[in-house]
Every structure is written in C-alpha cells, then in structure tokens.
Amino acid sequence: MDPTTQSWFTEQVDYREMHQFLKDKNSRSFRTEFQQVEFHHLHAFGKTMVLDGAVQSAEADEHLFHECLVQPAMLAHPEPRKVLILGGGEGATLREVLKHDSVELAVMVDIDGEFVDFCKNHLSDWNSSAFSDPRAKLLYMDGRKYLEETTETFDVIITDITDILVDGPAIRLYTKEFYALCAKRLNRNGYLALQALELSSQIWAQHATLRRTIRKSFEFVESYSIFVPSFTSTWGFIIATNAGNPILSAEELVNRIEKRNMASRLYAFDEITYRGIFSLPKDLRKCLSLDGSFLEDEQPLRFSPKDTEYRKGVKR
C-alpha cells in the first residue's frame, strides 16, 4: 500500500507530536456555534468523533472510556436515583447511567444542541436509544448556568466535558467555584465523577492541578486511569465525595453488580478491571500527592511549574 495515495486523518497533539490514521470512508465536517466537528470512519477504530481536531470517541473502544467514567461512581452509591450529566453529547455517558434500574431521572445538560442532534442521528451505536428513554431529560444550555439556577439535588454528578482550552466553552467547568457548585447540588451521600485529562508517570501535572482544585470542595478524592487506544494514551478520571472512601472492596463491587443484574450489560468493566484502574504506579501516586496550584475563575489556566512536563494539547 502506497501511503501517499491514501486518505489520512491527522491529529496534532502538540508542536512535537502528531498521529495519523487511515480513513476508510468519506468524512463529514461542520462547525457548530461552539466547536468544529469531524466524523471519520478510521481503519483502526471504525466510526470516530473528532472535536476541534482531537479524537473524542471511537466505535472500537468508547466503552472503555464511558464505562470507566460512569460505573465507579454509580456503583459506589448504594442506590442512585437522580443523576446529572454535564456534557456527554454523543449519549454514551447517558447510556451507561441508564443501565442502573434504580435511576428514576437522568438529566443531561449540553451546551451544543446541534452536536447532540447529530449524535442522535448518526451515533445510535453509542447512545443505544438512551435519548428516548423516559427517564432521560435533555437540556441544551451551559452546564454551570444550570447548576447555578437549579434547585434539584442529585445522587451522582458526572462531567464529560471537553478540554481546558483558553477559548473553549468548558473553561469555567474546571474551577474551584464550579466544583463548589457540584458539591452543593449533590445529596448527602453523593458522588462526583469526571474525565480528568491524560494521566501517566510522564504526563500528570494538569490532572494533579485538577485534583487539588476538586479537593477544595470534596474530602475524598481518588484518581484512576485506563489506556484508551484511540486516544493513543492513558486517560485519567476522578471520583470525589464527602461520604467516605469511594473505593469499594472487590466483594462489595461484585455484590453490587450482581444485585443490579449488570454483569451482562458491562462490556469491559468488572472487579478485575476495577482493581486495575485504581492501581496507579508508585511514582505517579507520589506526583499526585505533591502540593501545588489549583484552578479558579479568575485564573482558570494556572498550573504548577512542572507543567512544562505536560503536553500543550490537553483532553481529546
């Protein structure tokens, strides 16, 4: 195969690194009010969603990301009934939440209605008809504005929002003030879960800054990660609560999965996966324990000096 005659999608990670993926079929590209959207069929990963030039979700491995984002917090709660999702436009986060039969209401708030409508029509494999579930309530508005105005409280809040970019729509959804709002809108034994940027022993500074920011509002904050092939990196997540240690024992986790009749509904997530994602390397655990800066509305992109070790391109 002559690569010069093929069609390629190029993801620019930063000025030192780029990734190229062979495209099998025609692509679609359009701009909404808030972001540039590309939809490719990549040879390696199938249908792939790209936002502002960075891979967000791919058919071949989206279950890895979404199950790990959602299930630790949902299973930590003894009986989640009301759940808030901020972002998650493709509908896969909503899909994972609705796997729990105890859920009576799942409110999904996304600022980009045009993008969500596209996902409804073209990513049915992702959302599995979650948008038509009577328990789901979809709102098109800014997630922070919703938190500021609502009187609802929730058992679990999940933030599946895009990058910390200077001119991005999500910049005020990564600050101390934002996480204080999340804590206020959680019920007494509630949990916060979020995608928390790339995380490895080499790339950790922005995750650590985000973790310190969340600790301003939550007593118990735990990091975990999983390798996502379409991201070509290990991705970090955070679970936070004021209800005690959020990490379940293997026995507790197995019991809850069985009690909720979920084993057949989870593609990659079980007690072994769970143990693995929370087993961070020793050197990384040490890095995450360091003191440093945190994010505020007035300085939303202030990071620690060691951020020179972190790539300029953040979340996919």
Tell me if 35 is assigned to a ligand binding site.
yes
Q: Which of 81, 66, 74 is nearest to 127 (CA)?
A: 66
Candidates 61, 112, 155, 160; catalytic one: 160
Active site residue 307: no
Residue 143 annotated as lining a ligand binding site: yes
Binding residue per annotation — 61?
no
Count of positions (residues) in the chain: 316
65 phi, psi to nearest 5 deg? -65, -50
Instruction: Count CB atoms within 10 A of the CB of residue 166.
Output: 8
Per-position DSSP letters for 192-237, written without gaps between them: EEEEEEE-SSSS-HHHHHHHHHHTTT-SEEEEEEEEEGGGTEEEEE
Task: Give the closest residue to 185 by CA, choosing from 216, 125, 144.
Answer: 144
Is 142 flagged in the annotation as binding?
A: yes
Question: Binding residue per annotation — 163?
Answer: no
Which residue type sits at 235? W
Q: Judge contact between 67 and 268, C-beta under 8 A.
A: yes
CB-based contact 234:200 (threshold 8 Å): yes
Binding residues: 35, 66, 90, 110, 142-143, 169
Return binding residues for spermidine. Answer: 66, 90
Which positions are annotated as active-site residues? 160
Residues of each annotated binding site for S-methyl-5'-thioadenosine:
35, 110, 142-143, 169
